[in-house]
Structure 1
Amino acid sequence: MNDTSDADQLFDHLGLGEYETTALKGLLTHGRSTAPNLAEATDIPNARIYAVLDELADRGFIKVIPGRPKEFQPKAPDEILDRAVENRHQEFESFRAELDDLRDVFLDTFEPRYQRASEDPSPTEELFHVVDVGEPSESETRSIYRNADHTLHVMTKSLEYFESIRPALTAAVERDIDIDILFLHPEHLSEHNGAIQREVVGELTTEFPSVGIRFSKEPLPWRGTLADPSMDYDTGIAIVLVEEKDVPLHMRQAAVTENGSFVAGLKRYFDLIWEHESVPAGEIAGL
């Protein structure tokens, strides 16, 4: 890199805009000038040149020579650098003063919040963490499929996210994971969701015949996926979305838990619906 390039880089530290930098370079190169002459020499628009020069004067980088017309003269290069340092120092002192003025209010507001957040987590925080519904929840679901060791149990309206989890489902089937999917009965679905359900069930039946499929006769209070529950309450993971009809899907969150007792409770509920409150696909017209 040559000396000119090194010197040009210093302008990046003066806090100037493009026109201010061009104007200051022009004055340092050509010397004292009127605004119109400098505009012509540097291609700075005439409508901007006076504002540009006023900014340089306010920063102490140039001098204004009164007259008709008035002229503008650059300070010596060493003076420009000294003034840039002083400007930055003044900005810092102003920043420090603003912080000092707001310090007490800031500490009074956020110190108690910080202390509460730094305390030991509550039992609820240990039981769940939440993710947004959509790609975050689908990512968690794929992870559960990929890491399942023995069983997967799914409760869903229509498995509308099927394409998102298809590779993970395929891998689970290939690992001989026991998979049961409990769909909501079509009579509880909109026409749109019913069409999605028919297509997904058709693909599951054709591509994954080992997957168990039944349909809940009653509305489902929650949807989600759970893997490897233990009746000893020591293993299991689940992602759960509670049914909230009046809340748009994109505004909802799903809960993820590895609490063995909670996952076991979900499994017991799943088994009750599966065994006593559901029907196979053969009993549903159109499937």
Structure 2
Amino acid sequence: MKENILDTLKNLNFTEYEAKAYLTLLEASPLTGYAVAKNSGVPRSKIYEVLDSLTIRGDILVSPGNTPQYTPVPAKELIKNRRMKADEHFEQAEILLEKFEHSANDRENIWNITGRSEILDKVKACIISAKNRILLEIWKEDFKELEPELKQAAIRGVSVTIIAYGEIISDFANVYLHDMSDEITEEYGGRWLVISGDDSEVVAGIVSLGKDSRAAWTMHVGLVMPITEVMIHDLYLMEIMKKHREILEESFGKNLINLRHKFAIHPDYKKHYVK
């Protein structure tokens, strides 16, 4: 139990000696420096340096005199002070880093992202920043990890439209079920994810390769526009298929498979993007 408390104090930026001294004073105080060293196990040669550090930081109080005595700031007060200080640091960082925001929102760069979790983190950031519309092309296997952020976006009034590979059920989004999700996964050798936020940024890439998953994020209009429009044209086609499936499949085969074969460049009709 005591080791857990010491570890917790270390997480609050106490050194090991500081944590032992503070915890000793919580157990019994006031104490002289000699008594703190004796009860805590902190070397006597180090104890006054440790107590001075805690005093300067405001974690303990000292009563001056011929033999100074020390008492701790109560634990609740210590945690409150730490929380206030952390909030101050975050606020200061937000202000100071704001001037560099333009580099993060550079519309001329394309940024590589490697790793499935890293890609999904960037997609979540895109969802959180969206104000008007989200277009998302995603497999059912990946949807659950983004569902909370998507739902919150919809609650904010953002229009969420999903092109779903596999059955995705949602009460907050417009969901269009893409045909042949299993066959397409096999054809491409993996699952991809594409998101367009407010027609101003996109994340697109392969997310089924674990740490080897690869994607790109950009606000470059030269990519945002065509990627967004490709997604919109997918929606056009899905609306057309809903109305005229029988006629179109008579001409182009079930799920328009003849068109897929017509524009394939490999004899096995697979895409071979993932090597």
Q: Give the TM-score normalised by the residue count of structure 2.
A: 0.36
* Higher Cα radius of gyration: 1
